[in-house]
Structure 1
Amino acid sequence: MNTCPHCHIKVGGDAAYCPLCQNRLPGPAGEAYFPATAPRIHRASLFYKIVAFVLSALVVVGGAFDFLLLETPHRHFSVLMAVWAVAILLVLRDIVRRRYNGPRQIFNLLLLVSALLVFTDWFNGYTGYSLDLVVPILCCIALGCNFVFAFLHSRFTANALVYLLMNIGIGLLPYLLLFFRIDSGKLDAHSIPWVVCLILSIITFLGIVIFRGRALKSEIEKRLHM
């Protein structure tokens, strides 16, 4: 039986993560209380393997055309294909294993997709559409989802209040970008999406403090063992 180093509770079965704080359990997994349904596991595993095989085949075919058949100078699009394929497999693996709850999945997807978009933009000759438009839109979506999750009570939204603190982190990004742009005199129409993101971050955080302030305080004290 595992003991969570953060919550100091004993967790039986073969759970890899604490049901309270979602942190990884350090000890070896024990015997499961109830046997998992084999058909579901097999179907999920088979689906993941099929997707991995198809993506790998596409990357190999793209690499063959890219490096062997195309003679004119160009950007190696197969490298970009490989990066996106790895990212898709990482996201699919987490979904199949059902390790994370809703707020954490949203935040992880935000980081991954934002990094991929910036890399794709840079790979194709940086135009700025990723950081000036798409990434702030994704941040606004993440802020809105976190705000909604704070008022839902289900297994999918477990510990949602803690992840609302990420609203501060998401809000710091547009603040820093806007600070340097104002300081350098480059604040223009391209900064409007980040201004909207900063406003939405402040509004959603204030809304949580006003409507769920006590629950948020209790959750933070539990996490910090205060």
Structure 2
Amino acid sequence: MQYCKHCQVHVRGKRETCPLCMNLLTGREYSDDLDLAYPEIPLTFEGHLVIRIILFISIISIVISFVFNRVFPSHINWPVFVVFGLVSMWLSLIAVMKKKHNIPKTIMWQVTIVSALSIFWDYETKWRGWSINYVIPITLVLAMLIMYITAKIMKLGVRDYILYFLLDGLFGIIPVGFILFDWISTIYPSILCVTVSIIFTCAIIIFQGENIKNEFNRRMHI
């Protein structure tokens, strides 16, 4: 049994830091494998139905994009945008589920890399603005959708929801800057991104607000 001098509590298990204040623990009265507070149980997935639904929606989206492009011809190749967007979403979802122990960090890295590459290639191709008009807002929306789907499939804990709450707020602020500084010529993707961010943030507050508040109270010792 270890002891936290800051919280004045005993902590079971083989932890090095206190789960409440994250300060270093001191002393061990005994050392035994039975000292583990909880057995290590791997994360389980109940996402077979969810995956099938997402796959079905993806196929329908591709079909609708081709029909829409055929009925309403445009200089924008919407099927290509939809296909690349869905491929990115699936690759991100697979990568996130494989890196399930640090999902927010994985998503942040993916968003950062995709955004940076899109800006770089947009700049190298005589800057048409497609990176900030389309790619970055759509990437942020996909990231928020992946976070929501992953949280539902993997039944993540309150701590993960706190991180998602912060990330949703951050993702919603970025397109607001594009609009305020008048950097974009097509405003709809940015508005969509801000809207999705507000919806997801409100959903987290409404459905997980009490748990998040309790978690903050435990961490801040309120």
Scaled by the length of structure 1, the TM-score of the pair is 0.50
Question: Which deviations, in whole Å up to 9, do the C-alpha atoms of 1:69-116 show, x marking residues without a partner?
Answer: xxxxxxxxxxxxxxxxxxxxxxxxx99x95952232112211122112
Question: Which deviations, in whole Å up to 9, do the C-alpha atoms of 1:22-76 show, x marking residues without a partner?
Answer: x9x9xxxxxxx9xxxxxxxxxxxxxxxxxxxxxxxxxxxxxxxxxxxxxxxxxxx
SS of structure 2 residue aligned to 1:114:
helix
Give the partner amino acid of 2:199: I
In structure 1, C-alpha distance between the alignment counterparts of 2:203 and 2:174, rounded to whole Å: 20
Partner residue, 1:73: none
Which moves more between the two structures, 192-201 or 113-122? 113-122
Partner residue, 2:112: 111
Partner residue, 1:71: none
In structure 2, C-alpha distance between the alignment counterparts of 1:19 and 1:130, rounded to whole Å: 44
Structure 1: unaligned runs, 5 residues or longer: 26-32, 34-93
Q: CA RMSD in A?
A: 4.4
Matches within 5 A, 1:124-135: 124-135=125-136
Partner residue, 1:217: 213
Distance 1:154 1:99, change over 3 A: closer
In structure 2, C-alpha distance between the alignment counterparts of 1:178 and 1:220, rounded to whole Å: 33
How far does residue 214 in structure 1 lie from its aligned partner after superposition?
A: 0.9
> Are the aligned partners of 1:110 and 1:139 in contact in 2 as well (CA < 8 Å)?
yes
Partner residue, 2:188: 192
Give the partner amino acid of 2:216: I
Runs of 4+ in structure 1 off by over 2 angstroms are 7-13, 18-21, 97-100, 145-155, 218-226
How far does residue 222 in structure 1 lie from its aligned partner after superposition?
A: 4.1
How far does residue 151 in structure 1 lie from its aligned partner after superposition?
A: 4.2
Partner residue, 1:123: 124
Partner residue, 1:160: 160
Matches within 5 A, 1:27-66: none
Partner residue, 2:143: 142
Distance 1:133 1:202, change over 3 A: same
Scaled by the length of structure 2, the TM-score of the pair is 0.51
SS of structure 1 residue aligned to 2:181:
helix
| Alignment coverage as a number of residue pairs | 151
Task: Quote the sequence identity (%).
Answer: 25
> Are the aligned partners of 2:158 and 2:212 in contact in 1 as well (CA < 8 Å)?
no
In structure 1, C-alpha distance between the alignment counterparts of 2:133 and 2:110, rounded to whole Å: 19
Distance 1:111 1:146, change over 3 A: same
In structure 2, C-alpha distance between the alignment counterparts of 1:19 and 1:196, rounded to whole Å: 41
Give the partner amino acid of 1:221: N
Structure 2: unaligned runs, 5 residues or longer: 25-32, 34-94
